[in-house]
């Protein structure tokens, strides 16, 4: 029973974190066709900024989480305006810029923090017992924050004017221009939200697992897989694909040892793509 509860909790946490990070990536990809390969390093940067605010400045974990979110989200506006907006439609330059951003930020973290594995202090301490089984409060809090944020983003996209404008841009960019939608403003807002969500996920995973300069590379691979499985242009499909990927990453390590579990997960996803190349809810991927 304890193993089942631990596996289920891990499944929910991984799924919610994958979805949080993937949403920001999917916003820009579906709206403007921007393949933001620097999104993984933004996730990593959020964790390290949170750790710095807690250890160097002595801030409370929750206040550090809030400030980290604002700092990284604001950095996202800078990226959208000066790094992405001038090159919309130019795939090669966007990829090169993202590679440069990734190398610069990873190198900076390596120089400042070193390559050792670190971790944030837990956001909640203690154990919650359910009969013979037990779950740490850290896991419960991590999942709860992820679930609340996912519900909030879903409501924002489907119920607010800005969210509907995001959907309009993702469906028809030229039509959105003709309808008077300020595409630059909405793109900046989408990047602000996306980078903020990635920063939150980086802090939470930094406390739940660990921090490392290259943790963003692993997450970027997961985000790319998730986005393709969901289908390009589909925000809703991100949720289903996130649950699938989280399930594979939680259950397979119990059945297959070592790196073989990752290879098995990728093989399963490749089979899904062979069956449905356009993903669950999108059209076929063309880069």
Domain around 116: 2-214
Tell which wins on pLDDT, 3 or 100: 100
Q: Is residue 284 part of a domain?
A: no
Band the pLDDT of 283: cuts 50, 70, 90: low
Model pLDDT for residues 145-161, shown as the tens digit of each residue: 999 999 999 899 889 99
Band the pLDDT of 282: cuts 50, 70, 90: low
- Contact (CB, 8 A) for 240 and 230: yes
Tell which wins on pLDDT, 135 or 21: 21
pLDDT mean over 13-25: 92
Q: Is residue 43 part of a domain?
A: yes
For residue 67, is pLDDT > 80?
A: yes
What is the b/e burial string over 195-207, where b = at least 16 CB atoms within 10 angstroms of the residue's CB? bbbbbbbbbbbbb
Selection from 121, 133, 132 nearest residue 7 by Cα? 133
Sequence-ordered alpha helix ranges (H) in 80-181: 91-113, 137-159, 161-171, 173-178
State the Cα–Cα distance between residues 84 and 98, nearest whole angstrom.
9
**Cβ contacts of residue 42 below 8 Å, gap of 6+?**
24, 72, 75, 76, 195, 198, 199, 202, 216
State the Cα–Cα distance between residues 204 and 213, nearest whole angstrom.
16
State the Cα–Cα distance between residues 141 and 146, nearest whole angstrom.
8
Q: Is residue 150 part of a domain?
A: yes
Least confidently predicted of 16-25, 53-62, 63-72, 165-174? 165-174
Q: Is residue 229 part of a domain?
A: no
How confident is the model at residue 99, as a pLDDT? 95
Q: Is residue 175 part of a domain?
A: yes
Q: Is residue 129 part of a domain?
A: yes
Q: Is residue 271 part of a domain?
A: no
pLDDT, the chain, mean: 88
State the Cα–Cα distance between residues 219 and 40, nearest whole angstrom.
6
How confident is the model at residue 122, as a pLDDT? 92
Extended beta strands in the chain, E state: 127-130, 133-136
pLDDT mean over 77-98: 93
Band the pLDDT of 1: cuts 50, 70, 90: low
Eight-state DSSP code of residue 133? E
Model pLDDT for residues 32-58, shown as the tens digit of each residue: 888 899 999 999 999 999 999 999 999
Model pLDDT for residues 162-190, shown as the tens digit of each residue: 999 998 888 888 888 888 999 999 999 99
Model pLDDT for residues 188-236, shown as the tens digit of each residue: 999 999 999 999 999 999 999 899 999 999 999 999 888 888 876 677 7
| Domains in the chain, number | 1
How confident is the model at residue 237, as a pLDDT? 81
Q: Is residue 236 part of a domain?
A: no
């Amino acid at each position: 029973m304890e193993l089942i509860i631990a596996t289920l909790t891990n499944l929910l946490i991984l799924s919610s974190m994958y979805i949080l990070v993937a949403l920001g990536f999917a916003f820009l990809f579906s709206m403007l066709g921007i393949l933001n390969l620097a999104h993984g390093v933004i996730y990593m940067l959020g964790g390290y900024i949170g750790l710095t605010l807690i250890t160097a400045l002595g801030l409370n974990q929750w206040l550090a989480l809030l400030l980290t979110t604002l700092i990284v989200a604001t950095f996202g506006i800078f990226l959208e305006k000066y790094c992405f907006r001038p090159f919309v439609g130019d795939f090669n330059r966007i990829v090169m810029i993202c590679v440069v951003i990734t190398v610069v930020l990873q190198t900076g973290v390596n120089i400042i923090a070193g390559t050792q594995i670190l971790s944030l202090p837990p956001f909640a301490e203690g154990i919650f017992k359910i009969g013979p089984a037990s779950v740490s409060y850290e896991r419960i809090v991590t999942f709860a924050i992820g679930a609340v944020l996912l519900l909030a983003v879903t409501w924002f996209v489907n119920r607010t004017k800005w969210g509907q404008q995001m959907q309009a841009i993702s469906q028809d960019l030229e039509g959105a221009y003709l309808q008077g939608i300020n595409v630059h403003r909405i793109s900046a807002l989408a990047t602000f939200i996306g980078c903020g969500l990635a920063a939150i996920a980086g802090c939470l995973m930094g406390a739940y697992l660990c921090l490392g300069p290259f943790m963003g590379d692993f997450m970027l691979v997961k985000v790319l897989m998730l986005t393709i499985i969901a289908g390009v242009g589909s925000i809703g499909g991100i949720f289903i694909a996130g649950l699938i990927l989280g399930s594979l990453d939680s259950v397979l390590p119990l059945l297959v040892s070592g790196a073989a579990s990752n290879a098995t997960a990728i093989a399963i996803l490749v089979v899904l793509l062979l069956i449905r190349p356009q993903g669950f809810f999108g059209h076929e991927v063309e880069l």
